[in-house]
Amino acid sequence: MKKFSLLYILCLIHLSSSGQDSINASSKKFQIYFQAGLDIKLFYGGRYVKPTKDNYNDPIDKHIYERSEKAPTVGINTGFLFELKFSRHWAMNSGILYYFRKDVYKRSQDTVLANNYSNVPRSQNINYALKIDYSNHFLEVPLFLNYRLKKFTISAGVYFVPISYRSAEYTYLISLKNSAEYPYSPILGTSGKTVKDYQLPLLFFPVVQAWYRVMIRKSEVDPFLGLFFGTKGEKDFYIQAGINVPLIDNHFRKSGTRR
């Protein structure tokens, strides 16, 4: 009976270690990360939007931002990344991420008046916009190729945006009185308008990131810095800063299983 009990215990130990090894081996090939961070929007071609040659056949959106200043903004990102490891150094990432970004264009009152050479209307008119503030909500699918060397990881790829939701807030310059009654000293004010809509933009943003692995109380955390470029023609780019937390490895470490 004692021999049987000892043999039974040895079998359990062997099965337990084999199970942990198989789970651990699979965790080395596949990983899930939770991501959270900030995006800072900046510009490499100047913040001033120069006027282009007028063409009556052009859509109004082509000239709507002319003679305005683009403002730097801060956005957020969060979601999950899935990593498939090909070897000790190479891996591929994809996942689902939520991004909130803002696009802000501003004009001074003097610039709006100088642009139009006419009396300010009492109704809302896009040509008299003082500020245009877009709040963009993006659902993004990243596609990255990763190279890891010890604690450092370099990632390069694209953000693919299949769908987005945008809220646009317009601030217009309007005349509070009949301009004919006050031709030389019009009484001016502002009027606001908000427009919301879903879009299917199918955008691609090229991105490069650098990760660094650190341990905090036996849990791995990968801070990252990134750079990606925005909409084509806008001459803007984003600096990213955030963290990626591997969920599988941290779970095994806390439960006592080591890699």
Domain segments of the chain as ranges: 30-255
Q: At CB < 8 A and 24+ separation, what contacts does 188-192 make?
A: 188/109, 188/120, 190/130, 191/124
pLDDT tens digits for range 9-54:
344 334 334 344 433 444 468 999 999 999 999 988 788 888 777 6
Q: Compare 56 and 208 and report the one with higher pLDDT.
A: 208
Our CA angle for 55, 56, 61, nearest 5°, is 80
Q: Detail the DSSP E strand segments found in the chain.
A: 30-43, 69-71, 73-85, 90-106, 129-149, 152-175, 188-199, 203-212, 214-216, 219-229, 236-246
CA 103 to chain centre: 12
- pLDDT on residue 38: 96
d(CA 33, CA 145): 15
Domain 30-255 in CATH 2.30.30? The answer is no
Q: Compare 132 and 259 and report the one with higher pLDDT.
A: 132
3-state secondary structure of 169: strand
Q: What percent of the chain has pLDDT over 70?
A: 76
Q: Detail the DSSP E strand segments found in 44-128.
A: 69-71, 73-85, 90-106
- For residue 180, what are the CA distances in angstroms to 109, 113, 120, 122? 20, 16, 10, 11
Q: Compare 156 and 249 and report the one with higher pLDDT.
A: 156
At 233, the pLDDT band (50, 70, 90 cuts) reads low
Q: Which stretches within 105-259 are classed as H helix?
A: 109-116, 247-255
| 125, two tokens | 């008119």
Q: How many CB atoms lie within 10 A of CB 70?
A: 21
- Side-chain-side CA neighbours of residue 45 (13 Å): 11
